Chain A
């Protein structure tokens, strides 16, 4: 098991001795993940074959076959998740990490999931998007009692249709989801050739409000989050998605934040091929470079990675590609600090002028409160990336091995394919004939034709 799992990141699986041996005869093992790195795809050792997915900064939960039933064991428990190097969070998750491990099954599999609650309060698991008996739907109070602390419940159903799903509590969900209780669920098609792609990445969008200097999310925050994550990781803590040139690539994302995220890929067009309702018929697919993933939704996008390079992949809400920042900080752009800066510095030693030329902090490396991430950081081959939050890259390279997900480093651009500085003479800006000499631009007075409609 170790050899199979350690090739990518040194991620280690620890066999859990945590689950009581009293129930060992009937309970499957509950493996625990200690690393937040991307684990390699788990090639199914038994059961029906399928093309495994890669969980971005996550892992897939191993199972055992018992009398033809796939048995998983999820342990809901407090975890410490590294959101990015330099910051950890006290979250709730499953089997050592938040989000929990991805569950991969095949269409038609009978699945039995043991859920042990090691949280201080009751929980439940709802299998988002699954078609299952009502009593297996995991809504506390409605379809089942809560799983009390220390108790284990069993969910059993048939994974009836292939697609992209997720799981999360439906018990005190405001608190439990804000604390990071969530996981991905993939039901692969019976026929591995159906919808087959070369690389299949999955992750959940989640957001946290963790005050700089603290470790636990403020679960009562509704919208003003300060950490926007893919699988509870924030850039520069998110791994790149490494693909081979001309691979057919699928990226599946589910949104468990409280706002929508327009997810944008550079350098390619893609099509939205799946939702949590199933696969989109080819005739209904739109070409896109950005797709909005609304709250509670899943999206699968597909594209041919035909353009080598390091391509940005991110949420297009620009605050979502920032880490912790003050939302009440006034704009300082254009504010002349001459003289005042010295005065302030006399009063507050260590003060430096920031923001008067924009939000970029350039290469400033200033001490921050403990356990937080710089608002924007990450170093690229050309300097500071000035990104945080929901940002990573799709690295398209020629000649990679089929299962090679290792970071190939920065892209080496062919000569003449990088934007460059013009050093020649700069001609004067063209001016419309008869235009008055340079004068501040005035707002255009637009007169709309009342009858004119678009």
Chain B
């Protein structure tokens, strides 16, 4: 805006105009990275800017290699992805494009010098003109504003992209570690079945068992071998997905993962008004808001007369729902214009389209917040049930089975069958724990940030 006043100065002002919007030098990366770092708690670059040359690449490789030198914790994996996911890097670069557009929009077009030489009737005419695009001089401020909003929006969308990659990586890591663990338990089950089958064979050789008894044990063993193969296939697929998200190739793909998923935390996060959090924090909502503002701006609709709550558009009839019990206020207001004399149908339609897209985004965000929070809590309860009930009871059963084996009340085959049952229960716990950590990543994605610390909770706060 400031720049525009200086136009009055005439052609010499071109220089000034050019100087009022300039390239940031990092293509806007720093700004977007700032948002992503704030949300993920992890830096998005090694050098503070996107890698551009061999030095940068080497520095990045050094940092990543150091991380890959030990079993990769989930946050480390996310960090590697933020630093190294090439799709994300491409998004970062799109920010540079948007910035360039912005800067370009703020600059006057270069003056055009025309030289026209003509002759007719033995007369030579030479015309020299210096053309200066006056129109662009007039529209430059508007274009600058438009591109400025687009740039802001792009920044948000790129940041959101980074959060998505972070969430995907988190889920992929959980998936990969759990798949490994499950494969390991499949091996335990197989070993137990193998021991049964081998013993059955020895029983047969000693003359104590029939071919049918042996076949039964061997058939079971064969099935468990197949199960191991299937579990290993799943583990490979899960690991490769994680590898892709982290953008790793070559020797780096030999990274190690921890043997176990993190244990279930002592308690699940108690989040208060999750819908409000989602509406406030989600970058896609903020980008949609900007888009609406952007549309308004483009249409030159600057005069607002009142605000409407777009959430009301989407949630009519829900106000009695249980989510309102806490008595919070949920609002996402946007200006509604008095169309007045400028009642141009197209302008209104375009604007209302944008408003509705924003409203839908808000409805989606709220629904996703509710769903993912409910899933998060339910996943916690299920995992805790496995940890506190199913697994200990299985262990108790195993102990009691061993006591009965000791008393020659049960056979070694029952002991082995019980060992397999116990493995299955533990595997069930791994599955539940995996679902819990996945639900947590989903919840974070639905709420637009990390759960630990970053997002507001109701702990200790009375509604």
Contact = CB atoms under 8 A, between A and B. Distances in A.
Interface of A: 212-213, 324-326, 328-337, 339-340, 343-344, 346-348, 350-352, 354-355, 359, 361, 366-369, 372, 374-375
A344 B196 CA distance: 9
Given A213-B400, A354-B405, 13 more contacts: A326-B407, A332-B203, A335-B202, A335-B208, A337-B199, A337-B202, A344-B195, A344-B199, A354-B406, A359-B408, A368-B407, A369-B407, A375-B409
Given A344-B416, A351-B405, A369-B404, A329 B195 contact: no
B209 A330 contact: yes
A230 to B, nearest CB: 22
B93 interface: no
Given A347-B188, A347-B419, A368-B406, A328 B208 contact: no
B35 interface: no
Given A334-B207, A343-B195, A350 B407 contact: no
User: Chain B contact residues: over half helix, strand or loop, or mixed?
Assistant: helix
B366 to A, nearest CB: 50
B413 A348 contact: no
Contact of B408 (A334, A340, A347, A375): A375
A329 B191 CA distance: 22
Given A344-B415, A348-B416, A326 B208 contact: no
Contacts of A352: 406
A329 B404 CA distance: 11
Interface string B188-211: 100110110011001101111100
A325 B202 contact: no
Given A329-B411, A335-B203, A340 B198 contact: yes
Interface in B408-458: 408-413, 415-416, 419
Nearest to A353: B412
Contact of B411 (A326, A337, A347, A369): A326
A325 B415 contact: no
A333 B410 CA distance: 16
A351 B192 contact: no
Contacts of A340: 195, 198-199, 202
Contacts of A329: 408-411
Contacts of B413: 330
Interface of B: 188, 191-192, 194-195, 198-199, 202-203, 205-209, 398, 400, 402-413, 415-416, 419
A347 B398 CA distance: 11
Interface centre among A324, A340, A354 (most CB of B within 10 A): A340
Given A329-B411, A366-B406, A347 B191 contact: yes
A374 B408 CA distance: 9
Given A340-B199, A351-B402, A374 B206 contact: no
Given A212-B407, A328-B411, A367-B403, A348 B419 contact: yes
A332 B405 CA distance: 13
Contacts of B199: 335, 337, 340, 344
A366 B402 CA distance: 10
Nearest 8 A-B pairs (CB), nearest first? A366-B406, A334-B206, A326-B409, A343-B195, A329-B411, A368-B407, A369-B403, A347-B419
A330 B200 CA distance: 10
Nearest to B413: A330
A335 B205 CA distance: 8
A210 to B, nearest CB: 12
19 contacts: A212-B403, A324-B407, A325-B409, A335-B202, A335-B203, A335-B205, A335-B208, A336-B206, A339-B198, A340-B195, A343-B198, A344-B199, A347-B188, A352-B406, A354-B406, A367-B406, A369-B403, A375-B408, A375-B409
A343 B197 CA distance: 12
A375 B407 contact: yes
A155 B325 CA distance: 74
Contacts of A350: 402
A348 B206 contact: no
Contacts of B412: 332, 344, 351, 354
B191 A343 contact: yes
Contacts, number: 102
A249 B102 CA distance: 119
Contacts of B198: 339-340, 343
A368 B403 contact: yes
A339 B412 CA distance: 15
Contacts of A355: 408
Contacts of A332: 203, 208, 412
B407 A336 contact: no
B195 A347 contact: yes
Contacts of B203: 330, 332, 335
Contacts of B402: 348, 350-351
Contacts of B191: 343, 346-347
B409 A212 contact: yes
Contacts of B400: 213, 369
Contacts of A348: 398, 402, 415-416, 419
Given A335-B203, A336-B206, A330 B195 contact: no
Contact of A336 (B188, B194, B202, B404): B202
A217 B170 CA distance: 56
B408 A361 contact: yes
Nearest to B403: A369
Contacts of A326: 404, 407-411
A340 B408 CA distance: 19
Contacts of B403: 212, 367-369
A369 B205 CA distance: 32
A335 to B, nearest CB: 5
Contacts of A336: 202, 205-206
B407 to A, nearest CB: 5
Nearest to B192: A347
Contacts of B188: 347
Contacts of B206: 333-336
A317 B150 CA distance: 95
A339 B194 CA distance: 12
A211 to B, nearest CB: 9
A368 B410 CA distance: 12
A336 to B, nearest CB: 5
A343 B202 CA distance: 14
A9 to B, nearest CB: 29
A343 B188 CA distance: 10
A361 B409 CA distance: 13
A374 B195 contact: no
Contacts of B208: 330-335
A264 B398 CA distance: 41
Contacts of B416: 344, 347-348
A36 B56 CA distance: 89
A339 B404 CA distance: 23
Contact of A374 (B202, B207, B407): B407
A415 B402 CA distance: 45
Nearest to B411: A329
